[in-house]
């Protein structure tokens, strides 16, 4: 059996470990807390993050990184984006030479504004062809329940993408491949920001017309931003863009949607963070994304409004009217 390591035993890391195990791999999952590792290995459960889900017998967990990474043929990373660099510095001498390293994360690093694949390349000093990213409509609990879905594996190397896609394909999870790493990664990052906006207006009490308008205009912002950074526009209209956007904006299972809804209900940013059991990557990516947008001359009015709500300088009820990309008195043209 293929030996695979997954670092991060939150809802998505555990779910993807299940996906890989159900695809025929023997999976070792790193859990930071020894008690969680014991529960996963002994009870085949992760009650903290995937209550009620039975995990495969070919999946076990450990809090010892040496045990998890020893003899791994593929390594998957599912840690909070803002702690990725720190974690890579701990494990880089433990990752076997030449194996594919796969990002399951959807964030941009604060300060540096690097994508996760860029952080991986820098910290591991590895060839970009060894790196792959996975993105798409990935609501963890639905996938853990084996509800059918599809995702994208992107890599500059067709061989790496194919190896990862093969490992991650099973009867309920289908992987497609592309070589647009930039578009695939930014699709996963940017949809989180639009999902926060949708959560805000949902929390305020606005209806489906408002949300549909924000989703549609949000996709324009996502595409303009990604293309300005070298992505292909068609990637943003596929699973890693539109598909992920719809799932994240429309589901109460979305952490970013939930965080936005709490903001819309009047909770302060600090209180929202306290209430969240897991990281909502969109909250930490707003600042870096707006900095990147400004550097490339891309207007992102919806994301800018989210930033103002987070800062407490905009009443959540005022986010909905700001759906235009043109402040002139003339009616704007839809692009």
Residue 283 · residue 256 · CB < 8 Å: yes
Residue 97 · residue 125 · CB < 8 Å: no
Q: Which residues contact 85 (CB under 8 A, 6 or more apart)?
A: 109, 119, 122, 123
Catalytic (active-site) positions: 191
CA 264 to chain centre: 22
108's tokens: 């941009």
Residue 12: closest CA among 135, 108, 139: 139
DSSP 8-state secondary structure symbol assigned to residue 276: -
Sheet holding 149-154, edge to edge: 59-62, 25-30, 2-7, 74-77, 101-103, 131-135, 149-154, 173-178
Residues in the chain: 335
């Amino acid at each position: 059996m293929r030996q695979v390591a997954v670092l991060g035993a939150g809802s998505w890391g555990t779910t993807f470990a299940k996906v890989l195990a159900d695809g025929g791999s023997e999976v070792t999952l790193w859990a930071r807390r020894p008690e969680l590792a014991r529960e996963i290995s002994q009870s085949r459960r992760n009650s903290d993050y995937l209550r009620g889900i039975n995990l495969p017998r070919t999946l076990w967990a450990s809090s010892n990184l040496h045990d998890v990474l020893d003899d791994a043929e593929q390594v998957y990373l599912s840690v909070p984006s803002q702690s990725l660099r720190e974690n890579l510095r701990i494990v880089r001498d433990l990752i076997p030479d030449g194996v594919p390293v796969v990002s399951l994360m959807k964030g941009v690093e604060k300060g540096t504004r690097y994508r996760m694949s860029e952080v991986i390349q820098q910290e591991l000093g590895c060839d970009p062809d060894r790196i792959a990213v996975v993105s798409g409509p990935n609501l963890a609990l639905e996938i853990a329940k084996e509800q059918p879905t599809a995702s994208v594996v992107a890599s500059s190397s067709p061989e790496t993408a194919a190896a990862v896609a093969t490992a991650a394909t099973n009867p309920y999870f289908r992987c497609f491949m592309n070589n647009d790493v930039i578009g695939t990664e930014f699709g996963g990052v940017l949809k989180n920001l639009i999902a926060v906006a949708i959560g805000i207006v949902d929390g305020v009490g606005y209806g489906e017309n408002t949300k549909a308008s924000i989703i549609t205009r949000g996709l324009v912002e996502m595409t303009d931003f990604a293309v300005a950074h070298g992505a292909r526009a068609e990637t943003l209209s596929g699973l890693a863009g539109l598909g992920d956007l719809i799932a994240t904006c429309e589901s109460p299972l979305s952490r970013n949607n939930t965080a936005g809804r709490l903001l819309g209900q009047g909770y302060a940013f600090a209180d929202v963070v306290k209430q969240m059991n897991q990281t909502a990557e969109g909250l930490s990516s707003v600042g870096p994304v707006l900095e990147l947008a400004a550097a490339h001359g891309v207007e992102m009015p919806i994301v800018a409004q989210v930033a103002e709500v987070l800062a407490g300088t905009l009443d959540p009820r005022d986010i909905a009217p700001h759906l235009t990309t043109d402040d002139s008195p003339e009616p704007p043209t839809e692009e």
